[in-house]
């Protein structure tokens, strides 16, 4: 028993390493300038995979229906951006407010260069997560006592509040008001350049995958720990969980804070992906998007969320693009195809999943489970 557990852990680890290596190879073989869509989809997919898994931790594994994800992402994105914009760029970015109230930049504090960049970005991402987690802790005090659907609407409302606060003029010197924050290090900053300024090794997609991968791995470890099991007990039957000595408010808050931490990190990564951070991006629609990814992947399946994130992003940003373009085949205009049709098709697909394939891609199973079952079946024959 123990042996097989060890073996499958190693197998998973190997697969992940192989995937990371494949990303590096792909990125350096294909020309990113000719395949913008591919790499944009991969990076965004990695970010969304992390955020979806963090939402799944709450909605799928602890049974708390929260819709505050975009709000926590916003906190992470802004924290990251504010802490990493180079001091020299601040006047340009904050030109409306005559400069920024924060006049240091973490990558520079860490001495600049490659080491400064890596440490600074990491520290900023983690701090972004911490800010989101701290706010979640505060919000959780009142809100987590609410029953499922009230919790959903309260967290949704909280997201709206955060967005309003960050767009507030008076906070302009810190948040740049309703304007975007930019010029901070992005994934592309991790491409390695030679002295002449030519890119010799592209690592931007790899960086996105690595960061998301580490975070998701930590979440998986948590889910499989004694605390993760307690979360699942709360999801399955709150009354029984409490009767078996699981402190409901403590564990719910823990799940909420941890989920928000990773949503915050994901938000920071989203800023890195988008090259900017702006409050109006982090709308309720974004939360819905992530929720739908979780649903498509299967509520309670980490690998499902990851796969669904990539499918969703690739489909919406890349494969289904043609639905939005007016197309002529043999001189005849293809009906229906015009701007906005993609999202209609999308929402119809989602409704079909919700209504007829309620378990999503994976149900509550994980990828390795599928192989295990096959092996078991084989042995029986």
Q: Is residue 335 at the binding interface for another protein, with CB under 8 A as the rule?
A: no
x/- letters, 119..148, toward another protein (CB under 8 A)? -----------------------xx-xx-x
* Contact string (CB under 8 A) for another protein, positions 191-220, x = contact: ---------------------------x--
Among 282, 276, 283, smallest CA distance to 84 is for 276
With binding defined as CB under 8 A, does residue 241 bind another protein? yes
**Cβ closer to another protein: 40 or 258?**
258
Question: Does residue number 167 form part of the binding site for another protein (CB under 8 A)?
Answer: yes
Query: Which stretch, 73-81, 187-195, 203-211, 295-303, contacts another protein (CB under 8 A)?
Result: 295-303
Among residues 11 and 115, whose Cβ is nearest to another protein? Answer: 11
Binders in 242-261 for another protein, by CB under 8 A? 242-248, 254, 258
Q: Name beta bridge partners: 328.
A: 333
Would strands 328-329 and 276-277 be described as parallel, antiparallel, or unpaired? unpaired
CB 158 within 8 A of CB 71: yes
> Do 251 and 227 meet the contact criterion of CB atoms below 8 Å apart?
yes
Could you give the CA distance from residue 298 to residue 301 in angstroms, rounded to a whole number?
6
Of 321, 358, 374, 375, the residue at the interface with another protein (CB under 8 A) is 358
Site residues for another protein, 298-317, by CB under 8 A, read: 299-300
Asked whether the beta carbons of 267 and 76 are under 8 A apart, the reply is: yes
CA distance 10 to 51: 25
Residues 6+ apart with CB under 8 A from 237: none
Q: How far is the CB of 238 from another protein (least distance, A)?
A: 10
Number of residues that bind another protein (CB under 8 A): 71
CB of 285 to another protein, least distance (A): 8
Residue 287: HSE in the Cβ half-sphere, 13 Å Cα cutoff: 25
């Amino acid at each position: 028993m123990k042996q097989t557990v060890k073996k499958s852990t190693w197998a998973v680890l190997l697969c992940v390493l192989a995937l990371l290596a494949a990303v590096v190879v792909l990125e350096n073989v294909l020309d990113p300038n000719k395949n913008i869509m591919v790499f944009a989809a991969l990076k965004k997919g990695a970010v969304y995979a992390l955020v979806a898994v963090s939402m799944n931790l709450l909605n799928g594994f602890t049974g708390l229906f929260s819709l505050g994800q975009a709000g926590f992402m916003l906190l992470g994105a802004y924290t990251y951006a504010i802490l990493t914009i180079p001091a020299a760029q601040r006047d340009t970015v904050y030109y409306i407010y005559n400069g920024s109230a924060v006049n240091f930049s973490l990558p520079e504090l860490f001495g600049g260069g490659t080491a400064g960049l890596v440490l600074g970005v990491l520290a900023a991402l983690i701090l972004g997560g911490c800010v989101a987690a701290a706010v979640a802790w505060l919000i959780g005090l009142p809100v987590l006592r609410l029953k499922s659907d009230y919790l959903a609407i309260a967290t949704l409302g909280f997201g709206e509040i955060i967005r309003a606060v960050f767009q507030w003029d008076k906070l302009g010197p810190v948040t740049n008001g309703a304007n975007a924050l930019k010029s901070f290090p992005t994934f592309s900053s991790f491409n390695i350049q030679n002295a002449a300024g030519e890119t010799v090794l592209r690592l931007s997609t790899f960086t996105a995958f690595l960061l998301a991968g580490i975070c998701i791995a930590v979440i998986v470890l948590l889910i499989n720990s004694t605390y993760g099991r307690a979360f699942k007990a709360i999801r399955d039957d709150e009354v029984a969980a409490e009767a078996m000595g699981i402190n409901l408010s403590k564990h719910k808050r823990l799940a909420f804070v941890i989920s928000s931490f990773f949503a915050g990190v994901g938000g920071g990564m989203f800023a890195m992906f988008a090259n900017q951070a702006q409050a109006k991006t982090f709308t309720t629609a974004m939360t819905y998007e992530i929720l739908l990814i979780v649903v498509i992947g299967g509520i309670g399946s980490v690998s499902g969320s990851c796969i669904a994130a990539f499918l969703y992003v690739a489909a919406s940003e890349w494969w289904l693009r043609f639905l939005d373009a007016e197309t002529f085949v043999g001189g005849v205009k293809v009906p229906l195809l015009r701007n906005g049709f993609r999202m209609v098709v999308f929402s119809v697909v989602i409704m079909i999943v919700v209504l007829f394939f309620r378990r999503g891609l994976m149900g509550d199973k994980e990828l390795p489970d599928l192989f295990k079952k096959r092996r078991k079946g084989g042995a029986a024959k």
